[in-house]
Structure 1
Amino acid sequence: MMRIGSRHACLPKANARRPVRSVTLMVACAVLGPVAAHGTELTPSADSSRCLPEQSLHWRGGTLRLENDLFTGTDRNYTNGVALSVVSRDLQGALRPECLPQPIAWYTRFIGWADPEFWRDSGARSASQNIVVRFGQSMYTPEDKTRTDLISDDRPYAGLLYLGLAWNRRVQPQAASYEMLDVRELTLGVIGPWSLAEQSQDLVHRVRGIDRFRGWDNQLRNEPAFQMAMERKFKSYTEGAVRPGWSGDVIGSYALRIGNIETAASTGVELRAGWNIPNDFGSYPIRPGAENRPPSGVSDLRRTEPQSARAPKPGAHAFLNLEAKAVAWDFSLDGNLFRHSHHVSRRPWVAQAAIGISSQWIVAGHGVRLAVMRVWRTREFDQQIGHHAFGSIALSMEF
């Protein structure tokens, strides 16, 4: 996992209510230290004009995700989330930061400085990596939309607008029957009125003819938001773009997220069963982590004639996703980190289950995928009445 242990100078003493402050500021110091990381060369320096196509950045597709609890007949707690992600083609061979756009090259060197083991064996023939850029917004509200005063025994009004940059590294260990996906995602954004959560919700409610929430004047205050997410997933190894025919598989995962958006550790499992299951690492609600697809090399085979046996194929499958999480900080419950704000009594343990259906097709030579799921989440704070549920839909397309 991530190693930032030598930067003790960045660590302040934490007080009783802010146990995550020291860890959060530690990450901030690391993130703001790309100059130090800049000297970490992953490969010998070379002229960028000699970069091979598979060492340079080329986009291959995107995904639009929408989540809302109106799908389940409620309008409270985590009430809406939207995210647009773009995914690069696989980068093959030894990693060459000088072949990448400068901000991504800086992030690559930062990972090499903070977590050197992440790039171990990155040039192996069984390894590939890709890049995901994600832009999104999330909003949270209490249950009573009519009150204009601060509701002290319900969650705060809160919004988050963010931009995430993730590295996915996929590798099959030597002589192993399984493969792994390691993810490092840095998320930067803003909490508070600058997130535009109030304006976004008002617009949607006005278009749909729904009464608007009247307590947004009590929302959390503006402050920068950041998070580092580290995740590993693993499943049985599969060649090609799909697991052909009727089959099933199991995907395991564990993750650590650090920052003032959320600080938490989680573990989960996904069960899939269906026809032509895609060779990826599963479906899930919006969260930091992988936006992963079948390797781009086999994805390109959808255009070949005659079609290769390894090419993408239409298919559909059902999935069940289970996750348990230990939470040390959640901005939507704990409030602002850098100033006093409304907060509630967060519960340290949260469980989540999602069930859904995913299907993929080839349309005019492009890969298209639709995933629909319903998500149930246990109580997140002591004053919450019952569990929470919301719906999620994701539409993906290969360019």
Structure 2
Amino acid sequence: MNKRRTALVLTGLLLSGASQATDGSLTLTVENDVFTGSDNNYTNGVGIAWVSDAIAREDDGPLGRWTRFWSFLPFVADEDYTTYTSWALAQEINTPDDIGEPHPDVDDQPYSGVLVVDSTLYARRWDWSHAWQLRLGVVGPASQADDTQREFHRLIGADKPRGWDTQLPNEPIVNLNYTLAHLAAAGHTVADLEWRLVPLATAGVGNYFTGAGVGLYGEIGWDLVDALGVTALRSGLNAASTVGIAPRDRWSVSLFGGGGAYGVVHYLPLDGTLFRTSHAVDSEPVIAMGSFGFCLRRGKLTLGFARTFFTETFDTQREQTDFGTLSLSWVL
């Protein structure tokens, strides 16, 4: 089976699982620095994710058995929490500053493509959200990121990327991640505006990302939904979470913004592969980020947009990492 067919089969399995579910939601997310007028570092990400409805404890189907298999994880089997599961297929593309140069500078970010399948279990109650994620995938030519960027640039008439022959080599990806969110404060203001503050914490171990981070986001708007926010494809704050959210017969409109910082031990797109020699630059030990955007909900649809920016991620970085995230969700 060739690489392109493998990616198509994974997508088909994900969509098949969603179509067999009686409920839940499907989300398409696109991240790109074209939203910010740049074309370097983290330049594109696209993902499709299915999130289940609440999984009953007595559920004897595949989702129930899958949840019970992981019931040893803290909070997953707790009677005070409701459990959800999510599956996602995502691809990301990273490039140096000058994509027209066939031999990129050794002190600039290397070309890399990543293709992953994320399996996430959520344990939620009204004021806490715990997310346990297993990330499996591949970095390197097998991700098909080179073909994706070349074809996209051809369609939009952008410069042809010429340095993909120097990309990181093929290597399997295995990563475990945990994210915690807490509703710390909430209230109402004039004109029926609602607001809330949610601190976040995350940690990961594996050959994609090893490190930890903390952050805080705030949200204000009309008819806010019971969502505590999740991370987007690339650690941007995304208030358009669909975990546990039912269709709405009225508008929900909100603005959100926040920031955080990460302590980084290893980050694959910068530090390179672990088991094969590759181009690499040393990631900064501490990286800060900020994100702001809006979220609209009506009926079965949710539309969200965020702009995210990072401080310097490695010492010789030419331009700041800055990209936009557009997500569209619908209840099945």
TM class by shorter-chain length? 0.7 to 0.9
Alignment of 1:132-143 (within 5 A): 132-143=86-97
Per-residue CA distance 1:306-346 (angstroms, 9 max, x = gap): xxxxxx53121110021111011111001111111111121
Tell me how far 1:58 sits from its aligned partner.
4.1
**Cα deviations by residue, 1:192-251 (Å, 9 ceiling, x for unpaired):** 00000000001100100112110000000001011111111111599xxxxx94111011
2:274 and 2:114 mapped to 1: Cα distance? 14
Which runs of structure 2 are paired with 1:1-399 in the superposition (5 Å)?
58-92=22-56, 94=57, 98-100=60-62, 105=65, 108-109=68-69, 111-113=70-72, 115=73, 117-121=74-78, 123-124=79-80, 127-172=81-126, 179-235=127-183, 245-282=192-229, 284-287=231-234, 292-293=241-242, 295=244, 299=246, 302=248, 313-362=250-299, 367-399=300-332
CA distance in 2 between counterparts of 1:81 and 1:250 reads 28
Aligned to 1:20: none
Change in Cα spacing, 1:108 to 1:379, as seen in structure 2 (3 Å) is farther
Determine the structure 1 residue equivalent to 2:16.
none
Following TM superposition, by how much is the alpha carbon of 1:191 offset from its aligned partner in structure 2, in angstroms? 0.4
Are 1:230 and 1:256, in contact at CA under 8 Å, matched by a contact in 2? yes
- Count of residues in correspondence between the two structures: 307
Structure 2 residue identity aligned to 1:132 = S
Q: Which amino acid aligns with 2:105?
A: I
In percent, how many aligned pairs have the same letter? 29
Deviation per residue, 1:137-176 (Å, 9 max, x gap): 001000111211242010110010011110001025xxxx
CA distance, structure 1, for counterparts of residue 325 and residue 314 of structure 2:
22
Contact 2:230 2:241 in 1 (8 A): no
Q: Output the TM-score relative to the length of structure 1.
A: 0.72
- Report the Cα offset of residue 57 of structure 1: 6.2
Structure with larger Rg = 1
More strand as a share of residues: 2
Q: Secondary structure at the match of 2:135?
A: strand
For 1:236 and 1:182, how far apart are their aligned partners in 2? 15
Contact 2:212 2:264 in 1 (8 A): yes
CA distance in 1, matches of 2:320, 2:193: 35
Distance 2:194 2:216 in 1: 17
CA distance in 2, matches of 1:229, 1:268: 16
Cα deviation for residue 283 of structure 1 reads 6.0
CA distance in 1, matches of 2:36, 2:316: 21
- Secondary structure at the counterpart of residue 149 of structure 2: helix
Are the structure 2 counterparts of residues 393 and 144 from structure 1 closer, same or farther at C-alpha, using a change threshold of 3 Å?
A: same
Distance 2:154 2:258 in 1: 34
1:314 counterpart SS class:
strand
The 2-side partners of 1:285 and 1:261 are apart by 16
- Distance (Å, rounded) in 1 between the aligned partners of 2:220 and 2:42: 29
SS of residue matched to 1:313: strand
User: Counterparts of 1:224 and 1:260 in 2: how far apart (Å)?
Assistant: 9
Deviations 1:103-148 (A, max 9, x none): x845752x345x3x33352x34xx2111111100001000111211
What displacement does 1:253 show? Answer: 1.0
How far 1:349 sits from its partner (Å)? 0.5
Task: Give 2:6's aligned residue.
Answer: none
Q: Which 5+ residue runs of structure 1 have no aligned equivalent?
A: 1-55, 173-178, 239-243, 303-311
Q: 1:324·1:352 contact (CA, 8 Å) conserved in 2?
A: yes
- 1:244-263 per-residue CA deviation (whole Å, 9 max, x = no partner) reads 94111011110111111111
Whether the 8 Å contact between 1:57 and 1:91 is mirrored in structure 2 is: no
Between the aligned partners of 1:231 and 1:327, the Cα distance in structure 2 is 16
User: Structure 2 unaligned runs (5+)?
Assistant: 1-19
The SS at the match of 2:25 is strand
